[in-house]
Amino acid sequence: MKPTPKPQKPIPFISNIKEIHNPDEALSLFHEYHRMGYKHDYPSYSALIYKLAHCRDFVAVETVLGYIRDYNVTCRETLFIALIQHYGKAHLVDKAMEIFRTMNKSFDCVRTIQSFNAILNVLVDNNRLVDSKEMFDQAYKMGFRRNSVSFNIMIKGWLQKGDFEEACKVFDEMLEKKVQPSVVTYNSLIGFKCRKGEVEKAKELLEDMMQKGKYPNAVTYALLMKGLCLNDEYKEAEKLMFDMAYRGCKPRLVNFGVLMSDLGKRGKIEEAKSLLLEMKNRRFQPDVVIYNILINFMCKEGRAAEAYKVLIEMQVKGCDPNAATYRMMVDGFCQVRDFDGGLKVFTAMLTRRHCPQSEKLICLAVGLLKCGNIDGACFVLEEMGKRKMTFDINAWEALVRDICGEDEGRCQLLSELISAR
């Protein structure tokens, strides 16, 4: 019998850096540990780079990469893949390309098909389709054997461009090279046809998929359901969801989400609430996405008070609201001019480290001031100040115009607010 391995002790630097949100503080902590004689190795460097990249402090990332290069720290490919992805999200494509090109020479890290696919995806997502095609075509010369993920990325790129024929050419090449299409491959093509309202052609792709021994998943059916809803065939979409179980695919939350979204778009809130109840009766536990769909459309219909009850219910059921949930609720309360309700949600947001966008906070602050709630308005503006959110001159001019007019009492309220600010 093998002895049970002892649990690894947490590394103090990594534990501490997880608690830091400011990139400057993260870098200072790194240097402080170094001065105390702590020898940083790969886990420390990777934790720091992940933190800095997440905060988009890429100047500091370059500095740390310099340390890695100078001290010959051996790094895993996963670190460079994460960096490529972060650069891509920040639209710094050339930086992502630089990392990909130099990771093997400057950092002695072997590139595999995973890093190749990562940079290929960055090019596609940043609308550099010509560059991605050139790299895709040169893969073999670069020492990479393209897999289904590589082909799927290029198919996605052409479909984003709206070119179904080019996507099909990539699909044909995939078959020619004996690379097996995945469910993702077919879902991309089916989704495109469904978005175009060509559900029958999407169903033909479904048949082709099954003939090739690939079985559709819940996402496949969700895409078909969306297509049917787009064609005003809600009943058919509903029927498809209940039929899919007989085809060997259990419905998932994504399928219920399609139906709920369609009901919400058509203003059928009561039916959407009934669908939520049906989910629970069928022992499906709604997640934050499902609740957000219902809350969103309730707020749009001016039913913020009911939406707030749903917010409370989801918390009672153990489902935590996310930033989007709170933002929709603040917007919903502002829409029906219940600014005190909006303030209540805003306060709850802060405890969860979420915050609305600046324009929503301006709306909330103005509404609170108009209602005479100076303390509430000051609180909102102070929180905006902490987050360096601007209350620009146009917003102030609108505030003065809307509140003061010829009402001297309201002008006094504004003066008090500015003084408190």
Q: How many residues does the chain have?
A: 421
**pLDDT at residue 396, as a whole number:** 61
- Read off the tokens for 64: 């740390």
pLDDT at 381 over 70: yes
With beta carbons less than 8 A apart as the criterion, state whether 372 and 413 touch: yes
- Find all residues with CB under 8 Å of 294, minimum gap 6, and list them: 260, 264, 269, 272, 273, 276, 307, 310
Select from 103, 95, 142, 96 the least CA-distant residue to 121.
96
Mean pLDDT across 140-151: 96
Question: What are the pLDDT digits (tens) for 167-204?
Answer: 999 999 999 999 999 999 999 999 999 999 999 999 99
Q: What mean pLDDT, rounded, does the chain reach? A: 89
- Read off the tokens for 45: 């460097």
Q: Whose structure tokens read 């670190």?
A: 79
Quickly state the pLDDT bin for 115 (edges 50, 70, 90): very high
pLDDT at 394 over 60: yes
Quickly state the pLDDT bin for 420 (edges 50, 70, 90): very low
Measured distance CA(13)–CA(32) in Å, rounded? 10
Directed axis angle between helix 288-300 and helix 253-265, to 10°? 0
Mean pLDDT across 390-394: 63
pLDDT at 151 over 60: yes
With beta carbons less than 8 A apart as the criterion, state whether 290 and 300 touch: no
Mean pLDDT across 116-132: 97
Return phi, psi of residue 250, to 5°.
-75, 135
Specify the range with the lowest mean pLDDT, choosing from 30-39, 252-261, 285-294, 347-356: 30-39
SS percent in the chain: helix, strand, coil, step 5: 70, 0, 30
Q: Is residue 383 classed as helix, strand or coil in its secondary structure?
A: helix
Measured distance CA(326)–CA(234) in Å, rounded? 29
pLDDT at 7 over 50: no
Q: Following CA atoms 46, 50, 52, 53 in sequence, which dihedral angle do they give, to the nearest 10 degrees? A: 130
**pLDDT at residue 291, as a whole number:** 97
Q: Where are the alpha helices (DSSP H) in 71-217?
A: 77-89, 93-102, 113-125, 129-137, 148-160, 164-176, 183-195, 199-211
pLDDT at 406 over 50: no
- Read off the tokens for 358: 């600046």
pLDDT at 403 over 80: no
Quickly state the pLDDT bin for 352 (edges 50, 70, 90): confident
With beta carbons less than 8 A apart as the criterion, state whether 194 and 206 touch: no
CA 294 and chain centroid, separation:
19
- Read off the tokens for 124: 């596609």
pLDDT at 17 over 50: yes
Quickly state the pLDDT bin for 39 (edges 50, 70, 90): confident
pLDDT at 328 over 60: yes
Select from 388, 381, 348, 354 the least CA-distant residue to 366.
381
pLDDT at 409 over 90: no
pLDDT at 60 over 80: yes
Mean pLDDT across 283-295: 95
Number of other residues whose CB lies within 10 A of the CB of residue 135:
20
Quickly state the pLDDT bin for 11 (edges 50, 70, 90): low
Measured distance CA(178)–CA(171) in Å, rounded? 11
**pLDDT at residue 130, as a whole number:** 95
Mean pLDDT across 114-132: 97
Measured distance CA(259)–CA(230) in Å, rounded? 11
Number of other residues whose CB lies within 10 A of the CB of residue 35:
7
Three-state SS letters, 77-98: HHHHHHHHHHHHHCCCHHHHHH
Mean pLDDT across 100-128: 96
Domains in the chain, start-ordered, CATH in brackets? 253-356 (1.25.40.10), 358-421 (no CATH)
Measured distance CA(366)–CA(398) in Å, rounded? 9
**pLDDT at residue 416, as a whole number:** 53
Q: Distances in Å between the alpha carbon of 409 and those of 187, 229, 230, 347, 364?
A: 62, 53, 53, 28, 21
Q: Is residue 256 classed as helix, strand or coil in its secondary structure?
A: helix
